[in-house]
A and B are shown apart, each in its own frame.
Chain A
Amino acid sequence: MSRLGPDFLPRAIATIALYPEPRSAMLPILHLVQEQNGFLTEEGMAHVAELLGLSQAEVYGTATFYDMFFTHPVGNYLVSVCTNIACLLNGGYELLEHAEQSLGVKAGGTTPDGQFTVEEVECIGLCGNAPCLTVNWRFFGDVTNEGFDSLVGDLTAGRLAETVPPHGTLCRVRRTVGLEAAAAVESTSVPELESGERS
């Protein structure tokens, strides 16, 4: 499914209603597309353009500006290894090299089974636990080579499903405050919003 589906469209509409200008809602809605599809599909971006009354190029321009948006498919697990100064001094490059070797892909690449994408990133704010990385934007600090391998094992076996959501999920706790009120003002057709945890 590439356009926003029934789980996501009402949330998009409610989010747009929060802002005086629809286009202000572009980033949150793009995250919804990425959460639904794992990356920003062309149809998904086109849908966002339609919802906001913008051209597709405008949405594309914004989406490509930000490193957390992907306009091409990525693996189920996006492994982002930090090589910025603190991590560099603590073996960030060695960790990246190890990740590349053990997964068999270069930074930027995705394993043939579509499970893992490795990328090199700037400081992710976990310098105190360098070297570090994120998987689908969830932190893992003080990562040794062995630690990395067992992390990969755990992810593959599904043992970390609680901690690491599918790629694209910013946050599993849904905002509810404000959305309903805004939606009630703007539209009566917005279905009930999810609240609380979403699996």
Chain B
Amino acid sequence: MADAPETSTDTVSITVDGKVIAAQPGEMIIAAAERNGVYIPRFCYHPRMRPVGMCRMCLVQVKGPRGFALSPACYVAVAEGQEVVTDSPEVKKAQDGVLEFLLVNHPLDCPVCDKGGECPLQDQTLTFGPGETRFVEEKRHWAKPINLSDLVLLDRERCIQCDRCTRFADEVAGDPLIEFVGRGASIEVNTFPDLPFSSYFSGNTVQICPVGALTATPYRFKARPWDLEQVESTCTSCAVGCRVAVQSSGAKLTRYLGVDADPVNHGWLCDRGRFDFEAVNSDERVTAPLVRKGDELIEASWGEALAAAAKGLADVTKLHGKGSVAVIGGARLPNEDAFAWAKLAKVVLGTDHVDCQLGDGLPAAAVLGLPRATIDDACRAPVVILLGPDLKEELPVLYLRLRAAAVDGKTKIVELTPHSTGLTRYAAASLGYRPGEVALLARALVEGGGGEDADVAGVSAAAIAAARELISAGNAVVVLGRPSLAEYGSSVAEAAGVLARLPGARFLPALRRANVHGALDMGLAPGVLPGRVALADGRDWFGREWGALPAEPGLDTLGILTTAADGRLQALILLGADPANDFPDRQLARRAIAGAGFVVAVDTFLTDSSRHADVVLPAATYAERAGTTTNLEGRVSRLGQKVTPPGVAWPDWMIASELAVRLGGDLGFDSLESIWAEIERLAPSHAGLTTATLSARASRDGVVTPLPAAPTEATADTDDEAAGADATGEAPVNRPALLSFAAPERAGDVPALDSYSLRLVTGHKLYDSATSVRRSPSLAGLVAKGKLRVNPYDLDRLGLTTGGRIRLQAPRATMVLEVVADAGVPRGSASLPFNLPSEPAADLIDGSLAVNDVRIETT
């Protein structure tokens, strides 16, 4: 992927239409001219891809030794003293000619073309074209449209062979599944026969096609561009936080387009993020509050439902104490809502049993308390250490960015993973470790030793030595998440603690849930308070305004569910969380929901968890409300509201406020602004980040917290309003220091694997049984069937054949499924996707074990 050239202080001066302009060395004339206000028409040129000079629309005159000659402005780099003419009769004639030529075979079926109204071919024909054609013959005809994939359709007659889609597939996505096929007048874009363009990024080709040749099934014939309204927002389908334009027609979301945010997504979106708006439009949304009457959930008014929820919670608290209520979830919520819920939980309900992660993440301190890197930092780092999930499946656009950086030689990737990932083929080193033993491997990487030829965690000494060589340059960025959900997250935290000792190491957390990073920042985790502060450190600071806070750090989701399943925790609030599906020990989650006496669910759909609740409160979701969200870099960016929530659904912060009142508290919020003002005032990591700063034009791509200049260290506070200290004449309270990560103790060794068993490895697929995928008809069909991947050596050893059906036995469940040989899975391991509708690994996992072993045999 061609990045914008590095900004350099040296400039090259060139003359464009008689005006001298400063250009960046190495950039193409078309880019330099555009930055200086001269727009040269183009079709094939795209600033985020390498030039090809394919369409000739950008012909300009460039002076050479033999005078002015026509040259493609997208393919000629600037040079000192270069003279360029873009508006001469010769250029005009060339433009006329190119357009007349392109239109020779173009069907001009604009009235029924989705691109009509926003089509570069229409627009540039109007501005630069001849207005007449000399072509009177019959045009080409093709069968139309053809499916390049389930999502992308191609009308070949409209294609102008600009090579954008095919270049994107190869250069940017790394999925060269579409190509020019044929030659001359019969050239077409196509796939290999019966091998669809099934790329996670296919929707981008539709967006960058300069004509209506490529259309996406969810949008085709749904609207005319001039009927669409749009607002800019941030995708929250994962934690990358790509910038999007959210478009609606009438009251329905119609389409998302990628917006080019330089530090984040470069204009690209993944197909899940692009098309899962269908779930927002779904008819199955919960549109009214529901209250349980016997076995049934009955529609109720907000008043009744809130009263029922408040009464249930108050009764439990009265009977069993404050620690008897727990809150799970919150990663779906925007920052303001997460803050309101954190305040409700920790102040009004007085419980610290609060966790926005579902056992699939990392301890809050490991996310918040390690030096943070941005995506750009990672792409420029001498080396990136990947200690996390398959980014292609979980954080797709981060995968694109890192892939591009590796392909362009800007960084080197060292991967620590228990199964091969999308980035493995681009990695300088990929160390396949035995599940559960990653901390040992990290130690060997950082400390060396371990003997000349002793394997560590199943990785050879030679491979470790080679990787040590790669990271010896220092200043590594560690992409930190959960490589597998079938091993303890604490082993990864331990490894992170070890890697933190590498000189100059910084961390980019790779947790995927929507706004999980914002929710952690806002204190929706045990033992932390808003603004990346430990409960103990922030008690005084927050206590002055908020009153009493929980005395002790609470339980995480595993702890909450275990306690609830034992009947020792009596009320659960599920904040957009579906632990019965998403928690890596589904059985435990189901027992917990059944075991808790009283369950309140704040959700957009009835899920396997929320349908067992006593009260269900309908929440407004993405694009139905404003607010801010925080991506994995800690970048806060704004969400846009485009449509109104269905029925009487409310934003989550309003639900929190109203519930607080009925519980005898008052959060003191009457608008998103009032919440943000309190966040800015109280949350140390967000100090200085005012609404005005966030809405400024310079903050379009979001703002990374904490702000560099913000007084985030423990400094004497002189700001009256901050602590309200002076009014009461008490000693001022210092703004607490940000949390830091204390490397956990070395855990015991994992149990040895017996020779009949395989150690389970699991992670998410991009298309799985997540609500947003299941409720988006265009995506639901893309979900694959679960297959067990095993090293060919083990397959042989167990006398099994690839493609065969096997019986898989684990203490929790037995399932019959297909097994395939995969050399990317280390010996002794077996890899199975976590959350597919059929044969999910989630059913197998016992969350109380450090590792989970399974046995397989022929059926």
Contact = CB atoms under 8 A, between A and B. Distances in A.
A46 B192 CA distance: 9
B181 A55 contact: no
B140 to A, nearest CB: 16
Contacts of B195: 56-57
Interface stretch (A60-68, A160-168, A174-182): A60-68
A60 B192 contact: yes
A194 interface: no
A60 B181 contact: yes
B23 interface: no
Contact of B183 (A46, A58, A60, A65): A65
B182 interface: yes
A60 B183 CA distance: 12
B94 interface: no
B179 interface: yes
Contacts of A57: 176-179, 190-192, 195
A140 to B, nearest CB: 27
13 contacts: A42-B194, A45-B192, A46-B192, A57-B176, A57-B178, A57-B179, A58-B176, A58-B179, A59-B192, A60-B190, A61-B180, A64-B183, A66-B183
Interface string A43-81: 001100000001111111100111000000000000000
A58 B190 CA distance: 10
A42 B183 contact: no
Interface residues of B, number: 16
B176 A54 contact: yes
Contact of A64 (B170, B176, B178, B182): B182
A55 B180 contact: no
Nearest to A49: B192
Interface in B239-258: none
B164 to A, nearest CB: 15
B687 to A, nearest CB: 50
A60 B182 contact: no
Contacts of B37: none
A178 B316 CA distance: 85
Nearest to B166: A61
A55 B183 contact: no
Interface of A: 42, 45-46, 54-61, 64-66
A42 B195 CA distance: 11
Smallest CB-CB A-B distances: 3 pairs: A61-B179, A56-B192, A55-B176
Contacts of A59: 192
Contacts of B193: 42, 60
Interface in B691-737: none
A48 B482 CA distance: 37
Interface in B138-184: 170, 175-183
Majority SS of interface residues in chain B?
A: loop
A65 B183 CA distance: 5
Contacts of B191: 57
A3 to B, nearest CB: 15
Nearest to A55: B176
A63 to B, nearest CB: 9
B176 A65 contact: no
Given A56-B195, A57-B191, A57-B195, A64 B181 contact: yes
Which of A57, A61, A66 counts the most B-chain CB atoms under 10 A from its CB? A57
Contacts of A54: 176
A165 B193 CA distance: 29
A60 B176 contact: no
B182 A65 contact: yes
A66 B190 CA distance: 16
A19 B637 CA distance: 50
B197 to A, nearest CB: 8
Interface in B57-71: none
A37 B183 CA distance: 23
Nearest to A66: B183
Contacts of B179: 57-58, 60-61
B181 A61 contact: yes
A61 B170 CA distance: 13
A55 B197 CA distance: 11
A21 to B, nearest CB: 15
A46 B195 CA distance: 11
A59 B181 CA distance: 10
Contacts of A56: 192, 195
A55 B171 CA distance: 13
Contacts of B178: 57
Given A55-B177, A61-B181, 9 more contacts: A46-B192, A55-B175, A55-B176, A55-B192, A56-B192, A57-B195, A59-B192, A60-B190, A65-B183
Contacts of A55: 175-177, 192
A45 B191 CA distance: 13
A56 B191 CA distance: 8
Nearest to B195: A56
A42 B193 CA distance: 8
A57 to B, nearest CB: 4
A66 B177 CA distance: 19
B424 to A, nearest CB: 14
Contacts of A66: 183
Contacts of B190: 57, 60
A60 B180 CA distance: 9
Nearest to B186: A64
A47 to B, nearest CB: 13
A26 B183 CA distance: 18
Chain A CB within 10 A, most for which of B180, B181, B182, B192: B192
B823 to A, nearest CB: 15
A46 B177 CA distance: 12
A1 B257 CA distance: 47
Nearest to A62: B179
Nearest to B189: A61
